[in-house]
Structure 1
Amino acid sequence: MRFSFLILFFLFNFSQSQENYYNNSANNWQTYFSYSEISDSQHENNTIFFSSDNALFSYNFLTLELDSFDTLLGLSGDKISTFFFSELYNKILIGYENGLIQILDPLELTVINILDIKNKTTIPSNNKRINNFYSHNNTFYISTDYGISVFYLEQLEFGDTFYIGNNAGYLKVSSTVVNEQYIYASCLENGGIRMANLDQPLIDYNNWSQIYSGSFDNLIKTGNGIYFNDSRNIYKITNGSITNVKSFNNDILDFKEDSLVFTLTFEEKCLLYDQTFTNPLIIVDNNEENSFNTGLFADNRLYIGSEENGVLVYNNSASEADASIYPNGPLENNIFSVESKANQTWVTFGNYTEYFNPSPLNYSGVSRLVENNWNNVEFDSLPENSVNLNKISINPFNNNQVFISSFHGGLLEFNNNEFQLFDESNSDLESLTLANNSSYQSIRISDTGFDSSGVLWILNSKVDSPLKSFDFNTGLWDSYDFTPIIPSGLDDELGFSDIEIDTYGTKWIGGLRSGLIGFNNSTGSIKLKKINNEEQVNLPSKNIKSLAIDKNNHLWIGTIQGLRVLYNTSSFFDSNPVTQQIIILEDGLPRELLEQQFITDIEVDGANNKWVGTIGSGVFYFSPNGQQTIYHFTKENSPLPSNNINDIAINEETGLVFFGTDKGLVSYGTGSSSTNESFSETFVYPNPIRPGFDMLNKKIKISGLTDNCNIKITDIEGNLVAEAQSKINRRYNNFNLEIDGGTAFWNGKNMHNNSVSSGVYLVMLSDLDSYETKILKIMIIR
């Protein structure tokens, strides 16, 4: 897929589809959206277009080609309310609930933002929804929740706006059509069907008359009249007369026409009628397996957009769908947790509330990405009571074993392609106990984590012994009493957000009320302590959402009101620890890093850089000490569909960083990797470097480095060409040779900043701790 973007400047409020974050990093981003829920459809020639929550895709039923359009191309990631393909202009107009309009060219792969409605301050935000586009004589009539706006696509200019409510007030217009010299508007909230003469000034609300009362969804113009519908009836306008042509017992969700063949979609069925509306030509029942949203008839088949299984294709009145069509993706877009290791990435959809309330229970399944293919497991295929699935832990010693927490049912294990649920019947996990309801069962498991010995540590909320462990070698469970610091597990702490285990075996736990908890049993005696007095320990809030141990054994603490670092973790139990804020200079003035930010997750990569997710501000990528902001990704300057980041996962093998948001999953490829113990697996790629390779931007990579090494690159005669050291020549600081964790990047320039010539170059590696050395060769062909 190629990308190109237009920057257009008019007197109106247009913008490029996103800031030009694609210029050097387009290939670094990947998107993984769910297309299971289909909201709308449109048929043009051999292609059918479908919309999901915040993306589009097309299906050519002759070539069977499937193309998707999402934030990677420049779509906003917001909720799509309607779309329209213009055959005349070969453009797709996309309308959003927030008033944004985007114009997508599916051939040139360009996107233009139309921000006028979204940014108009005189229209309340809850009245900006785009409901429909209608094209007539090179003019587009845009139906919105405030009225009708005229738009000229060729000039990218707005014309007049028609406020057709009483006394020129707002009126929710669902659709418009033009027939001869009249324009018709269907309106919601008892606005009725309204009509005006095109020869009269449409901007004057007095020229609009209501010709039929009620609330109506859709107007369809055909060769023998105008049809429209309310929730349960189909009406027809002929020669100024309105008749009810068909009534139904269920709510109509979608009403479409193609060559006088009408498709009506209900939640439980889809019907096809000719213009007589006597008996249905085709009846498709969902057999209580799917919920239908939209449908259309094309290529002698019914294409029905469902709530959970994409587009279902039916031949005539077949009881079973012949196929299900939608791009590969996870089950849902609201990502609660993501974890990635080796060749697999797991995603869950939660959830529990900010205050650890499991209700209402969530019955979502899980999704697993393996080698670019999503394997989705519906809730019905999981063990009973596998609800509120949240945090994920992949066993570092056996990547085929995965544990997924259930914040009500226990702990779900995936092993050898089978699922098992641990609860009170087969483990030491505990349900909370209610004095007035002894039969109530709720095993509230949040985060889990493996230590260096392969023992799994588990957080079990609302009980007196909330820390559990399971040793796979012995098969033994252990529980650890926290009543010395939390007297009542049921009443004094609502839940625990995160557990991290450092190099000394200390388990660091974040609580909602308890602040930071430290637990260590590695010496045989148990050490247990909490710090939650904001003033005494310098915490911005005791409500801790995320913890991360970096490569210096510093503890990074993310709260709902900012960031702190505990530098001296080794003396936590024996002193009065105080956390520190990071002070940076911004415009020459000192300020606190991420002050008052709601921090959801902190992850440390192989170079000890920090990825920090927030609510409302996107993702930050910091240098090891936090003094340098390497990247700040938002939905405005990247393919992120939302600035609300729920979780981050780093795949140390691939260098991909996954961002789980409330509107979808994306990843960014850093190209870096974790460090190795030795140089045994070190290699250079690409090698040889052939003509045409862009060394300046794509760079030559040396992978498999140790944590503390020196690299010298010389020509065949021994002249020094480039040199770098792990903790000095860090990446993103404009060095010709730079090191990021276990990977070095060389732009092909020498010490004088000139591009090197063709030839063989030696890469001399030296580990500064073990004194191990290794020599590699690079061949460059100009």
Structure 2
Amino acid sequence: MKRGLYLLLLICCMSVNGQSFENSWLGHYSYNNVIDISLGSDKIYGASENAFFTYDLQSNEIEKFSTVNGLSGEQISTAYLSQSAQKYVLGYDNGLIEVFDANTEEIRKVVGIVDKPTIPPNKKKLNHIMEYNGFLYISTNYGISLYDINALEFGDTYFIGPNGSQLEVRQTTILGEYIYAATNVGMFRALVNNDNLIDFAEWQRVFDSNWWGIAAFGDTIYLVNNNRRLYEYDGTSLLIQSQIPQYATLLEDLKTDGTYLTVVNNTKVHIYDTGLNEVLEIDTLEEFPDLKFNSALLLANKIFLGTEDYGILETTFPTTSTVNQILPDGPLLNNIFSLTAVPDELWVVYGDYNAGYNPYPLARRGVSHLQELAWTNIPYTAEFDARNLVHTSVNPSNTSQVYISSFFSGMLKIEDNIPTELLNTTNSDLESLDIGNPNYIDIRVGETQYDENGDLWVLTSKIDNGIKVLRSSGQWNSYSITETISDPLGGENGLSKIEISDGGIKFIATQSHGVLAFDETRSEGARFVTLGEEEEGNLPTTDVRALNVDKTGNLWIGTVKGIRVYYGADNIFNDSNPQSDNIIIVEEDGVPKELLFEQTVTDIEVDGSNNKWIATSASGVFYLSSDATETFAHFTKDNSPLPTNTINDIEIDSESGRIYIGTSKGLISFQGTSTGPKDTLENVYAYPNPVRPGFSGNLTISGLTNNANVKITDIEGNLVYETTSEGGTLLWDLTAFGRHKVASGVYLILIASEDGIETKVTKVMVVR
């Protein structure tokens, strides 16, 4: 029975209608980095990295739009709001254009530039959008393209380089009868109403230089070039504004509202009047340290600042007396490294280390905590200096206490969302790798996991005692891995994942030694069993990136070249020749093949029904049956709100069944139907109830105990369905044993626990 979500995109020659996924998905994007700010009739539009939000100037309400609403999830490079057409236009690094109708909230994808084979991919970036006479003048890395904002179709394209070659255009503006273009080789101009502007000869290069921005202010053209100076052009001469000091960094935004000229670079915002007197300079604002700017928008006595880290900051103009932060709820960043879920909570860290387990360059990125669909962001602090945070473990006996692994600094302890202690070489048994310099401290803590006794098992790469445990009593113990990895410091010897079986065996994923099975209760010299390549364990490679022990005690292994399963994980020390098995599936054409052959598996998760969720580095997410022989769904960027097919991590909330998917471009979640088993049948319920005409999905029965017997009969007692639950939820396809749809009527759901002691009866009405 197919339970996946299969969605089609309807493609025409020039555009694609964006599709909404709001019924089953949630977007958890970061809106902190605001690329551009646009003004609508009654709203501010803020474009972030790959999503946008609106801020109602009257009600102060914020509304978010992302891949869940139909956006592509690609990197936004520019944005523009057409007041006349009531269209918000997003331009992307890859040449995509998305047109958002402010009235209907429909999204139209314009793929003409993306699909143009004569334009190289590195030339398709959209840099700036200007409107004139109903046409958008889109500055790109190849030239200027015109787009009719009312007819929603392309007009001419101007290749203004030598002999009509492609040329990087950063920005355009119009003054009088001329259109001006700032490019990387000079300022160009042409008569804006010339019907033959597709002829490069109609464009005059007025002045050479590498110009980053251009704007018409009053009767003068103003420009900023790569030497970070402001120039003016009065129609005949180009003059440097020597009274204005050189800007600290390259230009980010240059615009005018007719009264003021706004110049934005990464560290400051400058606002000038018509006499080029600086009315306001902003580099700091109270309560917002280390400000970095992308854009700015003046509106009467207010200025809206687009920042890299704080969303939009609204302050008064011309004096910054008050500051209001405009920022949708969300995590700190979009590049997700690792997720950890407990019921109704999610922890997010941003890492990272590369494929070779190298943490450099070191990152200071903070932590995000989702609780009851509200985010708390815990920023990096110099007080604890915990860098490259790569994993979170929540204390099962005190869920307000977590330990965050740092792949450089040790372990950060957080209590009630407040960092309280950094465990390192000075206050714990954690060890630095030893390169012969006693002043160099590098503690590479990877994944950690609590066992059933409340002891926290800790992996540390590049040291002899790579396995450590922090006992619930506070005592530390260390265990050497040199029995199986002779030189942990040298070579490719990263330790990434740890899984603990019901029997207490620790399974460890390694970079170049396959899977290590570790049992500390055995005598030294006999504590390890290794699953390796070929006859040493049948792994496709010894570079293992994912592990999970499922509900039947089988070990699932994800590598950079595919997936394997070792059946009966707790018996591995009794197996004289342990071998993992590959999964063979039969394609629709009848041809057998190996599941996920040669694909990099980044994570494996098991839901309440023992089904498998598989994350890959390039192919999205696979939702598979418990034995992985049947594919329920394959989610990709093309048929779901995934912003990319590069999946870094998956986590499942066992209570709600929600599937969290962390990618390199953002976090989204899918409302799954499989939950963990309940202790009793007290809260069993079925939905939708009633099942109304036209409903084409499955009936969901939730609140089940594990291995409960479920029978469904009509009101006369005729059996139409029977199964045994796996986990806390099961689905019924509303058919009589798969043969035909059941008729209208009342159906009884009879449930008995595995031992037969507890029973429950509930009803559902089906209306055809």
**TM-score between the two structures when normalised by the length of structure 1:** 0.90
Change (3 A) 1:340 1:118: same
Q: Give the 5 Å matches for 1:159-178.
A: 159-178=155-174
1:512-537 CA-to-partner distances (Å, cap 9, x unmatched) read 01111001135677521223334542
Distance of 2:735 and 2:595 partners within structure 1? 35
1:560-613 CA-to-partner distances (Å, cap 9, x unmatched) read 111111124344233112222111122221111111111111111111111111
* 2:729 matches 1:743: yes
Quick one: which of 130, 134, 143 aligns to 1:134? 130
Distance of 1:7 and 1:462 partners within structure 2? 47
* 2:443 matches 1:443: yes
Amino acid at match of 1:139: F
- Range with greater deviation from structure 2 (599-608 or 699-708): 699-708
1:659 corresponds to: 661
2:756 corresponds to: 771
1:543, 1:559 within 8 Å by CA — same for their partners in 2?
yes
Deviation at residue 171 of structure 1 after TM alignment: 0.7
SS at match of 1:553: coil
Q: Give the 5 Å matches for 1:42-121.
A: 42-121=38-117
Deviation at residue 6 of structure 1 after TM alignment: 12
2:556 corresponds to: 556
Distance of 1:305 and 1:62 partners within structure 2? 20
1:720 corresponds to: 718
2:198 corresponds to: 203
Distance of 2:57 and 2:736 partners within structure 1? 54
1:466 corresponds to: 466
Change (3 A) 1:89 1:581: same
Deviation at residue 297 of structure 1 after TM alignment: 0.9
Distance of 1:223 and 1:356 partners within structure 2? 56
SS at match of 2:170: strand
Q: Give the 5 Å matches for 1:105-504.
A: 105-188=101-184, 190-196=185-191, 198-199=193-194, 201-221=196-216, 224-231=219-226, 232-239=228-235, 242-244=238-240, 247-250=244-247, 251=249, 252-278=251-277, 280-286=278-284, 289-318=290-319, 321-380=322-381, 383-419=383-419, 420-435=421-436, 437-472=437-472, 474-504=473-503
1:6, 1:111 within 8 Å by CA — same for their partners in 2?
no
2:623, 2:634 within 8 Å by CA — same for their partners in 1?
yes
Distance of 1:346 and 1:648 partners within structure 2? 12
Quick one: which of 670, 673, 677 aligns to 2:672? 670
Deviation at residue 698 of structure 1 after TM alignment: 6.2
- Range with greater deviation from structure 2 (634-643 or 43-52): 43-52
Change (3 A) 1:537 1:177: same
SS at match of 2:60: coil
Distance of 1:763 and 1:371 partners within structure 2? 31
1:667-710 CA-to-partner distances (Å, cap 9, x unmatched) read 0111221113443x4321559x46x8579356554322122122
- Range with greater deviation from structure 2 (222-231 or 613-622): 222-231
Distance of 1:274 and 1:391 partners within structure 2? 51
Deviation at residue 196 of structure 1 after TM alignment: 4.5
Distance of 1:592 and 1:321 partners within structure 2? 62
1:52-91 CA-to-partner distances (Å, cap 9, x unmatched) read 1111112122221212221111111111011111122211
Distance of 1:721 and 1:299 partners within structure 2? 71
Change (3 A) 1:570 1:197: closer
Aligned residues: 749
1:332, 1:349 within 8 Å by CA — same for their partners in 2?
yes
1:428-466 CA-to-partner distances (Å, cap 9, x unmatched) read 21111122x122111110001112222211101111111
- Range with greater deviation from structure 2 (583-592 or 243-252): 243-252
SS at match of 1:260: coil
SS at match of 1:72: helix
* 2:705 matches 1:706: yes
Q: Give the 5 Å matches for 1:554-703.
A: 554-573=554-573, 574-586=575-587, 587-679=589-681, 681-685=682-686, 689=689, 696-697=695-696, 700-703=699-702
* 2:515 matches 1:516: yes
2:3 corresponds to: none
SS at match of 1:27: coil
Amino acid at match of 2:401: Q
SS at match of 1:513: coil
1:673, 1:742 within 8 Å by CA — same for their partners in 2?
yes
SS at match of 2:38: strand
1:712, 1:720 within 8 Å by CA — same for their partners in 2?
no
SS at match of 1:642: coil
Change (3 A) 1:603 1:320: farther
Amino acid at match of 2:761: L
Deviation at residue 242 of structure 1 after TM alignment: 4.5
- Range with greater deviation from structure 2 (194-203 or 254-263): 194-203
SS at match of 2:23: helix
SS at match of 2:99: strand
Distance of 2:11 and 2:455 partners within structure 1? 60
1:193, 1:214 within 8 Å by CA — same for their partners in 2?
no
Change (3 A) 1:315 1:345: same
1:647-675 CA-to-partner distances (Å, cap 9, x unmatched) read 11011001111111111100011122111
Deviation at residue 38 of structure 1 after TM alignment: 1.4
- Range with greater deviation from structure 2 (285-294 or 106-115): 285-294
Change (3 A) 1:141 1:267: closer
SS at match of 2:626: coil
Amino acid at match of 1:475: G
- Range with greater deviation from structure 2 (348-357 or 153-162): 153-162
Change (3 A) 1:348 1:711: same
Change (3 A) 1:46 1:145: same
1:546, 1:558 within 8 Å by CA — same for their partners in 2?
yes
Distance of 1:549 and 1:395 partners within structure 2? 20
Which runs of 5 or more residues in structure 1 are unaligned? Answer: 727-738
Q: Taking every aligned residue pair, what percent have the same amino acid on both sides? A: 36
Change (3 A) 1:133 1:197: closer
Change (3 A) 1:444 1:320: farther
Deviation at residue 500 of structure 1 after TM alignment: 0.4
Quick one: which of 36, 42, 49 aligns to 1:40? 36
Deviation at residue 317 of structure 1 after TM alignment: 4.8
Amino acid at match of 1:764: L
Distance of 1:100 and 1:387 partners within structure 2? 35
Distance of 2:318 and 2:344 partners within structure 1? 42
Distance of 1:764 and 1:349 partners within structure 2? 46
1:98, 1:129 within 8 Å by CA — same for their partners in 2?
yes
- Range with greater deviation from structure 2 (748-757 or 698-707): 748-757
Deviation at residue 270 of structure 1 after TM alignment: 2.1
- Range with greater deviation from structure 2 (246-255 or 590-599): 246-255
SS at match of 1:294: strand
- Range with greater deviation from structure 2 (392-401 or 531-540): 531-540
Change (3 A) 1:233 1:431: closer
Change (3 A) 1:425 1:152: same
